[in-house]
Structure 1
Amino acid sequence: MINFRAGLSALLLTTTLGQPVFAADFSDPTWPCIQRKVERLSIGLMWPHPVEEAKIEGPTGEAVRDLAGALTLRRVSLEEAEARIAEFVGEHGAAEPLISQVFVRVFDQVARRRSTIMDGIADFSLGQIAQSERIEEARVEFDSLLNVENPDYDKLDSLEEQIDWDERIYIDRQKNLTYVCETPVLLEKRLFAIAQMLMQVVED
């Protein structure tokens, strides 16, 4: 019989992502990950410069938008991101307000993407809890049907097949949990790395 919370604890304790191991807190059913839940990122913790949105028109404004869009893409490696930043600076300069606007746009896009993923994790967790409860209820029904004087073995066979199928789905989904929980962390790491690259440009 599957115990969602106990099984999840065992699974999550195998993955730390190189981060401190946090005790899983199942008081929040929307967060099944061992990583500490951070609802929203703070731009001020990553970027020490003013972040007021400013309109940048013309070719420079278009270049800011293009660079920010590229930096948010995970398929763009950090090495390529660094090269794109250097190319941008070579063409448009490294004035702090200009570079700040690049990071503001990167931060907003990544934060929105991360928020969507966090919502997906909540749906995933609640779905797994519901699946676990269905399996438990079916197990109880199976035991009840088995203990009557003349069991209906056809019904028992059908119910057992359904339990086996539901358990297989549950386990298959659990295998994806490590990746699901890593994704917000990877986005945070990338955002911090990009902030460091851009700050280096401003400081230079």
Structure 2
Amino acid sequence: MKNRMAMIAAVIMLAHGVAQAADPRYPDWPCIQAKVPEISLPAVWAGPPIDDVANAWKEDAEVVALVEQLASRRVPIEQARKAAADFLARSNDKVKFGKLVFAGLFDSLNAQRSAVLNGLERVMRKQRDAVEKIRTDTAALQAIQGAASPDQARIDELNNQVLWEARIFDDRRRVVAFVCEVPTIIDQRLFALSRTIQQEME
């Protein structure tokens, strides 16, 4: 019982910070890392303008397949860089295809980032709801425990319920800490592949 209550108390203390956003512009942002809503093109691309290719990369099946491969975080970055370099090495127009590949990567990885950012903020909202539920159920548990004739069955039920809610909260917190690193990983991947593409275009 003491261990259970200690865990619940620890989670409630951790939950105290859930309502406090690090950046008031993004009240649902749960990470200590600053939220950058999208990748800035000049931050990752010093090659020729890509305005003229727009969504044209989607019209070339080979480029689409390559972009999907390069954008997948399951593909090691060195393998991805080699695939990009090999593709451009055999291309008959390195500038054109380099721009197409990069435009596809830029679109795809920005979309990945947006999905991750939105997911993190959804989890933050769930965590706030979880905090309120834990507080409500803990208050109800304490009230029953303090009653003249405590209902032991109800005490056990609420105690198990609060413990379960606390575990879910803590599990989510651990996952969020890991996922908060993903936007930076995506940024680094795009920057590394951008450099490879630009080198092959020269």
Q: Which residue of 2 aligns with 1:3?
A: 13
Pairwise CA RMSD: 2.5
Preserved CA contact (<8 Å) 1:29 1:126 = no
Q: Following TM superposition, by how much is the alpha carbon of 1:7 offset from its aligned partner in structure 2, in angstroms?
A: 6.5
Task: Give the fraction of aligned pairs with identical amino acids, expressed as a percent.
Answer: 29
The amino acid across from 2:67 in the alignment is: A
Match status 1:33 vs 2:31: yes
Greater shift, 92-101 or 132-141, is seen at: 92-101
Following superposition, which runs of at least 4 residues in structure 1 exceed 6 angstroms of deviation?
A: none
1:6-25 CA-to-partner distances (Å, cap 9, x unmatched) read: 566xxxxxxxxxxxxxxx70
Question: Matched residues in 2 for 1:57 and 1:126: separation?
Answer: 35
Q: Which residue of 2 aligns with 1:154?
A: 153
**Equivalence map 1:17-166=2 (5 Å):** 25=22, 27=24, 28-48=26-46, 49-54=48-53, 55=56, 61-93=60-92, 95-166=94-165
| Ranges in structure 1 where 5+ consecutive residues have no aligned partner | 9-23
| Ranges in structure 2 where 5+ consecutive residues have no aligned partner | 1-8
1:142-182 CA-to-partner distances (Å, cap 9, x unmatched) read: 22222232222222221111111111221222221222111
Question: Matched residues in 2 for 1:73 and 1:56: separation?
Answer: 17
Question: Matched residues in 1 for 2:49 and 2:171: separation?
Answer: 46
**Count of aligned residue pairs for this structure pair:** 187
SS of 1:176 mapped into structure 2: helix
Question: Matched residues in 2 for 1:56 and 1:192: separation?
Answer: 19
1:68-123 CA-to-partner distances (Å, cap 9, x unmatched) read: 22211112222212221222122114533331121010110111111111111111
The amino acid across from 2:198 in the alignment is: M
Question: Matched residues in 2 for 1:189 and 1:108: separation?
Answer: 15
Q: Which residue of 1 aligns with 2:177?
A: 178
SS of 2:181 mapped into structure 1: helix
- Under a length normalisation based on structure 2, what TM-score does the superposition of the two structures give? 0.81
